[in-house]
Amino acid sequence: MLNVQKIREDFPILNQKIHDKPLAYLDNGSTSQKPKVVIDAITNYYNWYNSNIHRGIHTLSEKATEAYENVRKIVADFIKAPDPEEIIFTRNATEAVNLVAYAWGRKNISTGDEILLTEMEHHSNLIPWQILAKEKKAVLRFIPITQNFTLDLDKIEDLITSKTKLVAVTQMSNVLGTINPVKKIAGLAHKAKALFLIDGAQGVPHSGIDVANVNCDFLAFTAHKMLGPTGVGVLYGKKKLLEEMDPFIAGGSMILEVWQDRATWNKVPYKYEAGTPNIADVIAFGEAIKYLQNIGMENVRNHEKELTAYALKKLCETEDLTIYGPKNPELQGGIISFNFSAKGGSDSVGIDIHPHDVGTIVDQEGVAIRAGHHCCQPLMRKLGIPGTARASFYIYNTKEEIDQLTFALGKVKEVFARL
């Protein structure tokens, strides 16, 4: 079990009040807070060894290069990648997916080929494939969701055909919290000789992943949702695939030799890391991973299951509230999306409360949640709603903060009952 109160001491931002109320930060699906060791790592880099990497022979450059490259090893160990050279640093998970769409997709997708996604994908794992499909005259197909907000596994084998060249699936829905059986889907994709990409932006921070065991071909995730800084993402790719792909962004560092009319490319992973990278934040990301490893990802997951079970119980007791998700902590991560209605004034007419209004009112009680379509507009249309309010949990959250949320939702009802 986590010592949550001890953990909270490591996060300076949590020790404040919002509108004279204790901050209950329940927007971790958007971005997580940062422990002091991560913040200090950024400061230490700029204070003591700020220098460019891979191109200097002086002491500061060598120290910065060593620290930066050590994080590649830390990331590889965290996701159980066989080789640190299979780890590419990007700006975010979105860029990681785009890298695959451009560098692999434009070389391997042709007219009539099919790319299989799901109905719960974030725009980051949808729009790059829309653009590629339009350019290459390929076809996008979608694994549907069931009434229980899980993937319809019975439909997958029918949807994966000899025309399927890529299956790209979120590890965990950022709206529904649904955890998808990525290992099973990887097996079905490979059986059809298709490649398999995982969008791990939500899943990796909460349960980790073993890429060798899952046998995915690509994995995209991001630092800022797992205690790290913004501006750092990761693409894992099997080395053979990365070596066969063309560069994504061209310029310095990604070259081996250059003439006026031609160039040769650097080896993997540097072929995909053009220009000066986000050195300080990559180094700080290493500290974030070590922090999570010290806690243990199994403990992280168990804490979230406990919080999710408690939150589901409390929210299900709240009248006029609709929850979108499996409502089962074993099948979902620490994300709960919901909408709210209220009985209006003297005529008792029901009012659908917009998620933005919910988010604004609970903020007055010190509670930070997300409100909107969460970059999942096709899913919202599938659900027949404009958006949801979303509470999402992480290692420093407590049951008391969930109580604070439910109290704040009572305030929402009070406001709209007067209308």
* pLDDT of res. 347: 44
pLDDT tens-digit readout, 261-296: 999 999 999 999 999 999 999 999 999 999 999 999
* pLDDT of res. 284: 98
Q: Hey, which residues does 179 pair with through a beta bridge?
A: 172
Instruction: Spell out the domains of the chain, with CATH numbers in brackets.
Output: 4-30+296-417 (3.90.1150.10), 38-295 (3.40.640.10)
Say how far apart CA 254 and CA 269 lie, in whole Å: 9
What element of type H or E holds 281? helix 279-295
Token pair, residue 216, equals: 């995915």
**Whole-angstrom distance between the N-terminal and C-terminal Cα of the chain?**
45
**Per annotation, catalytic residue among 216, 316, 375, 376:** 375
Please give the model's pTM, rounded to 2 decimal places.
0.96
Measured in degrees and rounded to the nearest 5, phi and psi for residue 56 equal -125, 150
316 catalytic per annotation: no
pLDDT tens, per residue, the chain with 419 residues? 789 999 999 999 999 999 999 999 999 999 999 999 999 999 999 999 999 999 889 999 999 999 999 999 999 999 999 999 999 999 999 999 999 999 999 999 999 999 999 999 999 999 999 999 999 999 999 999 999 999 999 999 899 999 999 999 999 999 999 999 999 999 999 999 999 999 999 999 999 999 999 999 999 999 999 999 999 999 999 999 999 999 999 999 999 999 999 999 999 999 999 999 999 999 999 999 999 999 999 999 999 999 999 999 999 998 889 999 999 999 999 999 999 876 544 444 455 899 999 999 999 999 999 999 999 999 999 999 999 999 999 999 999 999 999 999 999 988 887 76
Measured in degrees and rounded to the nearest 5, phi and psi for residue 290 equal -65, -35
* pLDDT of res. 344: 47
CB 215 within 8 A of CB 82: no
* pLDDT of res. 194: 98
Say how far apart CA 111 and CA 132 lie, in whole Å: 11
DSSP letters, 37-75, are HHHHHHHHHHHH----SSS--SHHHHHHHHHHHHHHHHH
Nearest CA to 79 out of 234, 194, 197, 195 is that of 234
Measured in degrees and rounded to the nearest 5, phi and psi for residue 165 equal -105, -25
Say how far apart CA 151 and CA 225 lie, in whole Å: 24
